[in-house]
Amino acid sequence: MSTPNIAIIGAGVAGLTLARVLQVHGIHSTVFELDTFARSRDQGGTLDLHPESGQAALHAAGLFSKFQTYIRSDAQEHRTLDKHGVIHVHVKSEDNTVGRPEIDRGDLRQLLVDSIEKDAIQWGTRIHEIKPSQENANKYTVVYNGGHEATFDLVVGADGAWSKVRALLSSAKPVYSSLSFIELRITDAETRFPEILETTGRGGCFIVSDGKLLGAGCNADKTMRIYAGIPIEEDQFSETNTIFSKPAEGRRYLLDKYADWDDRLKDLICHCDDVIIPRPIYALPVPHVWENKPGLTLIGDAAHLMSPFAGAGANMAMWDGTELALAISDAVKTGKPLVDAVTDFERRMYEMTRPKAELSASNLKLLTSEATVPQLVQVWTKQMTGEKSACEE
């Protein structure tokens, strides 16, 4: 087949990985992204890249060596605590043998952006409509930035949780999990509050009790990110958003939720910056499948949005981008119809991501239960060693 004209909607790690691996195989794509540049908005904390997915994607993209210069060795440390500040698990960075190196999300996005041809990413692009082409029923036209149009052989929805492309393929919508993360930050935590890092360490710290969570970790710039995981009813979002828009009120609200937690842990809230951001946790139904339509497909959160409790979202997004790129490249080389290549990819994606989404959902349910920290640690240990855990049965 001739080289297809491909549009990628969204320049997150899924879309960027797809664009980069296509480029490695000599296939140009156009990435449409609302952000005005790679770091125009905050990209979040760190993430660990798994060998079979995130790391494999970077190998396929020819970026693994560069990635190694960004690895956060200090972020390899991990602690699991209860609300009394008792450490139940402490994996030091030098003892971490899992093989999942950490990188700041912003650095990963920049690494991918820098590897892609400059004219491939259309920054500051607002998508108005994606519609079937008038000339060819198997192609789609992207309408953007006030009426500009371009037609493509394949439009890939890599546009996240509230994907515009998904609506063309599936009636499924993300469902609220009943849990929200309230994101807090402490700028230059290491210098200003070294006593906090004595409790949490510099890597990932996970504190859980009574169905509530506190997660903490530092970026390379020494900003500590804290995520307070609390149940909030969906019809209370407007009220709580108002509360969190006022820093003093937001802190009081959270301190009340963690009233009986150790003072060392409440310091994560007491000393946070004035920017407090509610992040409700949504997920797509499991499994999320759709009938293939020529000219369209989905990857990343657009295809399989899940809660963060399997640590798989970004890794699966990068796996998606890589596998779709390889499927397209193979079709170009062998003459296989593009629709067949995409259909085969979607089938493999369902098989690959469904267990991760199921695990994420079951872990969320377990974390918001009355399970004790030792019980949680036992489940997580079984998951890491590949044994069947109670939450998977």
Query: Of 262, 281, 300, at which residue does a domain stop?
Result: 281
Tens-digit pLDDT string for the chain (393 aa): 789 999 999 999 999 999 999 999 999 999 999 999 999 888 888 999 999 999 999 999 999 999 999 998 888 889 999 999 999 999 887 766 568 899 999 999 999 999 999 899 999 999 999 999 999 989 999 999 999 999 999 999 999 999 999 999 999 999 999 999 999 999 999 999 999 999 999 889 999 999 999 999 999 999 999 999 999 999 999 999 999 999 999 999 999 999 999 999 999 999 999 999 999 999 999 999 999 999 999 999 999 999 999 989 999 999 999 999 999 999 999 999 999 999 999 999 999 999 999 999 999 998 888 878 888 888 877 776 554 433 333
Same domain for 364 and 342: yes
User: What are the Cα distances from residue 241, in Å, to 125, 212, 238, 273, 352?
Assistant: 28, 19, 5, 16, 36
Domain assignment present for residue 244? The answer is yes
Query: Of 281, 308, 334, at which residue does a domain stop?
Result: 281
Same domain for 206 and 315: no
Same domain for 187 and 137: no
Enclosing domain of residue 309: 6-72+99-173+284-379
Query: Model pTM?
Result: 0.94
Res 386: pLDDT: 56
Domain assignment present for residue 90? The answer is no
Same domain for 46 and 159: yes
Domain assignment present for residue 52? The answer is yes
Domain assignment present for residue 252? The answer is yes
Same domain for 123 and 40: yes
Q: What count of other Cβ atoms lies within 10 Å of the Cβ of residue 165?
A: 25
Query: Of 261, 281, 301, at which residue does a domain stop?
Result: 281
Q: Domain total for the chain? A: 2
Domain assignment present for residue 390? The answer is no
Please report, for the domain that includes residue 194, its CATH number. Answer: 3.30.9.30
Same domain for 247 and 132: no
Domain assignment present for residue 392? The answer is no
Same domain for 187 and 149: no
For the chain, report the end-to-end CA distance as a whole number of angstroms: 45
Residue of 345, 293, 291, 357 whose CA lies nearest to 321: 345
Domain assignment present for residue 137? The answer is yes
Same domain for 274 and 372: no
Same domain for 323 and 213: no
Res 97: pLDDT: 57
Res 370: pLDDT: 80
Domain assignment present for residue 113? The answer is yes
SS (H, E, C) the chain: CCCCCEEEECCCHHHHHHHHHHHHCCCCEEEECCCCCCCCCCCCCEEECCHHHHHHHHHHCCCHHHHHCCCCCHHHCEEEECCCCCEEEEECHHHCCCCCCEEEHHHHHHHHHHCCCHHHEECCCCEEEEEECCCCCCCEEEEECCCEEEEECEEEECCCCCCCCHHHCCCCCCEEEEEEEEEEEECCHHHHCHHHHHHHCCCEEEEEECCEEEEEEECCCCCEEEEEEEECCHHHHHHHHHHHCCHHHHHHHHHHHCCCCCHHHHHHHHCCCCCCEEEEEEECCCCCCCCCCCCEEECCHHHHCCCCCCCCHHHHHHHHHHHHHHHHHHHHHHCCCHHHHHHHHHHHHHHHHHHHHHHHHHHHHHHCCCCCHHHHHHHHHHHHCCCCCHHHC
Res 98: pLDDT: 64
Same domain for 152 and 230: no
Same domain for 312 and 184: no
Please report, for the domain that includes residue 138, its CATH number. Answer: 3.50.50.60
Same domain for 195 and 331: no
